[in-house]
Structure 1
Amino acid sequence: MTRRVLITGGASGIGLGLARRFAAEGDRVALCDADADAVARMGDALRGAIAAVADVTDEAQMAAFLDRVESEWGGVDVVCANAGTGGPAGRIEDLDYADWQACIGVNLNGAFLTCRWAARLMRAQESGCIILTSSTSGQWGHPYRSPYASAKWGLVGLTKTLAMELGPAGVRVNAVCPGAVEGERMDRVVAMEAAASGRPEADVREQYVRGVSMRTWVTVDDLADTFLFLASPAASKMSGQIIAVDGHTETNAP
């Protein structure tokens, strides 16, 4: 059965991997991203996909994207509220309020706008699956990254609550908590945390590996495997679950 899959932040990083994997399964894909160049590349790569430039913190832009999807598809089967940003790094007393708001805006408010729309459609059709991208920082906390950790903990609360609200309508809601994911984004995060803590980048990178039982980083494909499972009939009785894909985080302490 061909599914209708919507992915926010779907033109880069984890979202890009999800879009490619769902499309490879034969599913119809709609994605949005704030990066216009990345969206153009995805539109060329995934023929037949809906690919739109939209900032998940902008209610008008999201309404335009979501209205288009609803108009063309008439419903949605899988929603991946994936858009996120690493936010600033530093001691809380040194952080700027605007940077805090921007991080909360992308990670948590963007998920709200996406899930609000999905809930309305899925409740009416009495089926559907919502998967939110949280983080192991939303399970453990993360020194020097209080805005990011707070937003990701917020997504855990949103997941649990929506699973309770939508379960009677046959809608499942789960969250995936990635650990340190290989790629350009984590390269930037490592550099930012090194600057904030005054440590060499090599030490920060080693901390991520040392703090995981399996002593490894996560790949985008590792995460896509879990998203595809959660969206499948094999996970038909899984809802309200917070699933870490991280090699087992032992600590995020510096």
Structure 2
Amino acid sequence: MSRRVLITAGASGIGRAMAEAFAATGARIWVADVDEAALSACPGDWRATRADVSDAGSVAALFGAVGADWAGIDVLCANAGTPGPTARVEDVDLQEWRRCLAVNLDGAFLSAAQAAPMMKAQGAGVILMTSSTAGLYGYPNRAPYAAAKWGVIGLAKTLAMELGPYGVRCNALCPGAVEGPRMEGVLAREAEAKGMTRDQVHAGYASGTAMGQFVEARDIAEMAVFLASDAARRVSGQVIAVDGFTVNPDPKI
């Protein structure tokens, strides 16, 4: 029987790359996203559902459908996230702070809380949570995002402890700077905040890694497939950076 894989924010970016990578292994794919246009562009053999991971009712409805159609879930990629505001901490609006944590941290919690009973009942499962290198080192002018991603790591480690006795593994993935539309938005906002050009900020990110370059969404996806495989059957509670090795998390140009 092919594995049942649910990916939040799975219609584009890292999530879409994960979905494609798991599909290539023969897995059944279910993607959830708030972007209806992106959902409509998903392959016809994927299940695609609009869901807001920051809303408990929306998440419960999603997993209710998954349980009814699939009678369980083998892999949850709790991948949904938002970059949040770019501002000094004293300038961050409280509502923006809460929204950033709601998507990045509450979303991971709500999704895992729904998946856990299914996985415990079947005595197996894998939960992968998308954190960030911002959850390892901090991130100047991005306090809400960094705080949320640190929280995701703590949640992943705790779930690995709670669910391990039931045969369920949980790990956190920490992407570095990933080429793509979301990162372009981050670069633009940081360039404006720092009085720099987009290319200068881009070069600063790249120079902060040992490999001197950004990663691609497929790099994250391939690690997710490995962590969900039997080859990683004893890997749990780990925080794995896919970032070209960050040696300076706040490089100055």
TM-score by length of 2: 0.97
User: What residue is the counterpart of 2:203 in the other structure?
Assistant: 206
- Whether contact under 8 Å (1:90, 1:197) holds in the other structure is no
2:97 pairs, out of 83, 95, 100, with: 100
Structure 2 residue matching 1:48: 3-state secondary structure: coil
C-alpha separation in 1, matches of 2:153 and 2:24 = 29
Could you say what the CA RMSD is over the residues aligned between the two structures, in angstroms? Answer: 0.9
- Whether contact under 8 Å (2:79, 2:108) holds in the other structure is yes
C-alpha separation in 1, matches of 2:193 and 2:55 = 29
Deviation at 1:198, TM superposition (A): 2.4
C-alpha separation in 2, matches of 1:2 and 1:95 = 45
State the AA in 2 paired with 1:124.
A
Over the matched positions of the two proteins, sequence identity in percent amounts to 52
User: What residue is the counterpart of 1:50 in the other structure?
Assistant: 47
- Whether contact under 8 Å (2:177, 2:205) holds in the other structure is yes
* Residues 1:91 and 2:110 aligned together: no
Deviation at 1:125, TM superposition (A): 1.1
User: What residue is the counterpart of 1:16 in the other structure?
Assistant: 16
User: What residue is the counterpart of 1:155 in the other structure?
Assistant: 152
Aligned counterparts, 1:1-254, within 5 A = 1-42=1-42, 45=43, 47-253=44-250, 254=252
Structure 1 residue matching 2:41: 3-state secondary structure: helix
C-alpha separation in 2, matches of 1:7 and 1:83 = 8
Flag structure 1 segments of 5+ consecutive residues without an equivalent. none
- Whether contact under 8 Å (1:103, 1:148) holds in the other structure is yes
- Whether contact under 8 Å (2:63, 2:115) holds in the other structure is no
Aligned length, in residue pairs:
251
Flag structure 2 segments of 5+ consecutive residues without an equivalent. none
TM-score by length of 1: 0.97
